[in-house]
């Protein structure tokens, strides 16, 4: 009897304990869970509402940061068929190259790296080597710099051409760029930015053949400063502007006492637009910089400014482009010892198009007058420190050739390069030089990688 009674009591105790534990567990779960919402029925009773489950938002994987090494190279096998007898045209690439010289030559090597820190911030670094044929002196232990970008010993080397930070959409449709960059005169901007992508150099499309006319005559193609590159219609980007302030030193580490670095700044402005379903492109550019203070021989000091207009019409069979500019040098020359202003003017027209899927053609003509008010019988001295300015030499440039492209980014470009020189002075004036020319035949090779 005792055993039966003990067994019944033990079973009852265990059963009650299990029920109690289960009830406590359920109450803890309900306490931890959010209270169920209830709804009132038409009958006045309440019923639990359906509890909606929340899911984590999917991550945006559409943006992939750019990490890109890129570059391009162009050079030629050239033959200098004729050289100007007095070596005029110091701003041209074959200045000083002897007649009949023929050589393989690199004219530009670019190596760039683009890095997107975030969608907002992008960094650009560009190394360049742009050697010229060595026409300078080389005197053993007393070496002098050979030419332009060449090293003291005459070898090629890279130097820093661009290094900048781009802040995209500082406000809607406008980027801020800080550092060393291409100026709005003609330099190319990457697609996807708010900067113009169809400036004169990019539209001409044959930098491997020759610079634009303003680049030849020393307008800054790049500079150290800050720029706003914007569009007035961000959705379609048909109209835009660039405003830039720079050192006017390009990439040169000039002396701290040089007036072009730190005492004065150069201001660049540009307005551009695309019309007729983006077939017609128009670009208007201006710049201004003061270059020296007032002095005894030049009481008004010196400055120079440029105004330029570029237009191109792009169709499938042909692209035609026209560029014209005027540039004023305040007190740029002295006529018979008296300072006066000089105004240079230039005009360039080009045409290019396709012959077949792999073969294209191009042709271009430039006319350059260094001083529109030049007095043929007067004696002049140069005051301006702008480039290699010479008011006495008028130039006409011609080039034409073919562009065979067997693969994307690979170009073989046989071409003719010709500059005619004419003296602005009267033939009876002391120092007058008869008309002459430079004529060069070239087999140019140009290739792009990483883009």
pLDDT in tens, 350-375: 999 999 999 999 999 999 999 999 99
Q: What is the DSSP string of 208-244?
A: TT---HHHHTT--SEEEEEEEEEESSTTT--EEEEEE
Mean pLDDT, to the nearest integer, of 385-407? 94
pLDDT at 413 exceeding the cut of 60: yes
Outline where 168-312 has alpha helix (H).
Answer: 200-204, 213-216
Mean pLDDT, to the nearest integer, of 143-148? 49
Mean pLDDT, to the nearest integer, of 423-448? 95
pLDDT at 288: 96
pLDDT at 2: 43
pLDDT at 292 exceeding the cut of 70: yes
pLDDT at 8: 47
Is 78 or 15 the better-scoring residue by pLDDT? 78
Any residues with CB less than 8 A from the CB of 310 and at least 6 apart, and which? 186, 199, 200, 203, 281, 282, 283, 285, 321, 322, 323
Any residues with CB less than 8 A from the CB of 240 and at least 6 apart, and which? 194, 195, 196, 229, 230, 231, 232, 271, 272, 273
pLDDT at 47: 53
pLDDT over 90, % of the chain: 64
Task: Determine the Cα–Cα distance for residues 446 and 73; give it in Å rounded to an integer.
Answer: 6
Least confident stretch, 51-65, 214-228, 331-345: 51-65
Indicate the SS3 state at residue 272: strand
The pair of three-digit structure tokens given for residue 168, joined into one six-digit string: 């995209």
DSSP 8-state code for residue 24: H
CA dist 163 → 67, 121, 193 (Å): 15, 13, 17
pLDDT at 132 exceeding the cut of 60: yes
pLDDT at 431: 87
pLDDT at 135: 61
pLDDT at 185 exceeding the cut of 80: yes
pLDDT at 445 exceeding the cut of 50: yes
Contact 435, 420 (CB under 8 A): yes
pLDDT at 254: 75
pLDDT at 22 exceeding the cut of 70: no
DSSP 8-state code for residue 137: -
pLDDT at 32 exceeding the cut of 80: no
């Amino acid at each position: 009897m005792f055993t039966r009674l003990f067994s019944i009591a033990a079973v009852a105790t265990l059963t009650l304990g299990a029920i109690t534990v289960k009830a406590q567990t359920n109450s803890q779960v309900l306490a931890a869970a959010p209270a169920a919402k209830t709804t009132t029925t038409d009958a006045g009773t309440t019923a639990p509402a359906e509890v909606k489950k929340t899911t984590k938002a999917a991550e945006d994987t559409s943006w992939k940061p750019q990490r890109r090494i890129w570059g391009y190279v162009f050079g030629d096998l050239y033959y200098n068929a004729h050289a100007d007898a007095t070596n005029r045209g110091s701003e041209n690439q074959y200045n000083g190259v002897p007649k009949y010289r023929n050589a393989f030559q690199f004219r530009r090597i670019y190596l760039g790296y683009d890095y997107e820190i975030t969608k907002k911030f992008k960094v650009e670094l560009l190394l360049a080597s742009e050697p010229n044929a060595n026409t300078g002196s080389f005197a053993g232990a007393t070496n002098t710099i050979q030419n332009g970008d060449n090293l003291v010993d005459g070898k090629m080397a890279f130097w820093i051409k661009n290094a900048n930070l781009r802040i995209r959409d500082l406000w809607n449709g406008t980027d801020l760029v800080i550092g060393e960059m291409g100026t709005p005169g003609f330099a190319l901007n990457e697609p996807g930015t708010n900067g113009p992508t169809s400036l004169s150099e990019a539209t001409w499309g044959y930098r491997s053949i020759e610079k634009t006319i303003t680049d030849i005559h020393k307008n800054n193609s790049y500079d150290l400063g800050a720029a706003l590159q914007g569009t007035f219609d961000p959705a379609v980007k048909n109209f835009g502007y660039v405003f830039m302030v720079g050192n006017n030193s390009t990439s040169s580490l000039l002396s701290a006492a040089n007036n072009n670095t730190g005492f004065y700044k150069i201001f660049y402005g540009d307005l551009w637009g695309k019309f007729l379903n983006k077939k017609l492109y128009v670009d208007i550019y201006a710049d201004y910089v003061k270059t020296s203070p007032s002095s005894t021989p030049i009481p008004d000091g010196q400055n120079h400014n440029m105004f330029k207009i570029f237009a191109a019409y792009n169709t499938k069979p042909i692209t035609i482009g026209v560029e014209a500019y005027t540039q004023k040098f305040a007190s740029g020359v002295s006529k018979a010892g008296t300072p006066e202003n000089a105004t240079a003017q230039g005009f360039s027209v080009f045409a290019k198009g396709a012959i077949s899927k792999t073969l294209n053609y191009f042709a271009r003509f430039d006319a350059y007058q260094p001083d529109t008010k030049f007095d043929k019988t007067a004696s002049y001295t140069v005051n301006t420190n702008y480039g290699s300015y010479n008011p006495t030499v008028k130039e006409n440039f011609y080039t034409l050739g073919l562009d065979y492209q067997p693969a994307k980014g690979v170009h073989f470009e046989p071409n003719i390069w010709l500059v005619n020189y004419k003296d602005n002075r009267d033939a009876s004036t002391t120092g007058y030089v008869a008309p002459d020319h430079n004529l060069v035949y070239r087999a140019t090779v140009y290739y792009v990688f990483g883009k």
